[in-house]
Structure 1
């Protein structure tokens, strides 16, 4: 598909410390593509300095009080007017996309992809015992057709997103729910391995049943 504009949505709940690095990564990725990029930060129930960070950045800001990551992503994409030939992407405020993240999406879209589901990587395991890192590495499928769904690394055509009804207002697994509906809709999917997103392995989760909960399960197994 031809892409003439990209919108990136970043949900954030009390992410004052990590949001600046996240936005730096998104801006770097935006400079690497030749189409305009709109970045939307959705401040969901923030009580720290996240709003000041977002307001100081060259991004659009949506303020929400849902404390629901699905509702936050939905509000972010719902805040932009429909444009033809638009690509949507989303990541997390505790994650850092690589410089070629959006150019990778455009390349896949140019070859017909309607949905790009990427992988994640963890560089800081300091909050966990060694066996958690080992178990995570053993279980994580990082090859082609990996089948992982991460809200930290998703991209899809705006037309497809709207055709399936967008993100549901789910407090967890909103990313898996959306991708399942897109696959059932017949979307052309690329399980991308060429632009892994660095994500946080912190133990103080912002979303219930998210990545930290998964790692807790590995620790206790």
Structure 2
């Protein structure tokens, strides 16, 4: 049975991402526009929340110039806490019940494809509790051989067990049932998915709508995605 989703809350933690936040928000605006065009009558409202986590650069000013985006300031310095604060803000501002709300997570150094929200919504309406999406590094900083090696080790297939905060969706009532994102410096996404599975909830995966993410070798979170890229780059 199709589940009615009335709200999608997009959460984007950001720390000193002035060089990439514009690309991120442009991509989210395009995905939201595509969803509205595809579902003009019954599509969900989309709310984008950027969490400014200890930003010292011009990220906040760039976000403030976007009429389609809300922001909230965090002093935590922990991505798990930042994500949780963004979810809290988005849920508080919405008028839908948690079981009618889908939380779509990405990162400020990433760019979602135009069909990203449609793929997220399909999973939500199919009754899944969460969707594990795929990511691929951008080509900046990686040569063709390194990128091919990455895709060999991380193929964009439908069935996978990779958990990426840059491409992760979860239904709000089930998110709340497991206590949400833990206030961790890294691994909050993996911990959330493990908690959902411990309750026997449906966690789907897909290689569709893979999110383009930074190939930088020094990331914001310890033992995060940048470690994977650094291992490939040698």
Band of TM-score, shorter chain: over 0.9
Number of residue-to-residue matches in the alignment = 219
5+ residue gaps in structure 2?
36-42
- Which residue in 2 is equivalent to 1:86? 101
Quick check: 1:132–1:215 contact (8 Å CA) kept in 2?
no
Distance 1:194 1:215 in 2: 21
TM-score scaled by length of structure 2: 0.88
- Which residue in 1 is equivalent to 2:20? 18
- Residues 46-61 of structure 1: matches in 2 within 5 Å? 46-57=55-66, 58-61=68-71
Shift of 1:59: 1.1
- Which residue in 2 is equivalent to 1:63? 73
Is the partner of 1:8 in helix, strand or coil? strand
Aligned counterpart for 1:186 among listed residues 175, 191, 200: 200
5+ residue gaps in structure 1?
none
Quick check: 1:150–1:175 contact (8 Å CA) kept in 2?
yes
Distance 2:20 2:13 in 1: 12
Aligned counterpart for 1:162 among listed residues 165, 173, 176: 176
Shift of 1:62: 0.6
Quick check: 2:216–2:229 contact (8 Å CA) kept in 1?
no
Quick check: 2:156–2:210 contact (8 Å CA) kept in 1?
no
Farther off after superposition, 132-141 or 10-19: 132-141
- Which residue in 2 is equivalent to 1:3? 5
Distance 2:205 2:213 in 1: 18
Greater per-residue helix proportion: 2
Distance 2:218 2:144 in 1: 18
Is the partner of 1:152 in helix, strand or coil? helix
Q: CA RMSD, aligned part only?
A: 1.5
Aligned counterpart for 2:113 among listed residues 92, 98, 104: 98
Aligned counterpart for 1:109 among listed residues 92, 100, 124: 124
Is the partner of 2:51 in helix, strand or coil? strand
Distance 2:167 2:132 in 1: 6
TM-score scaled by length of structure 1: 0.93
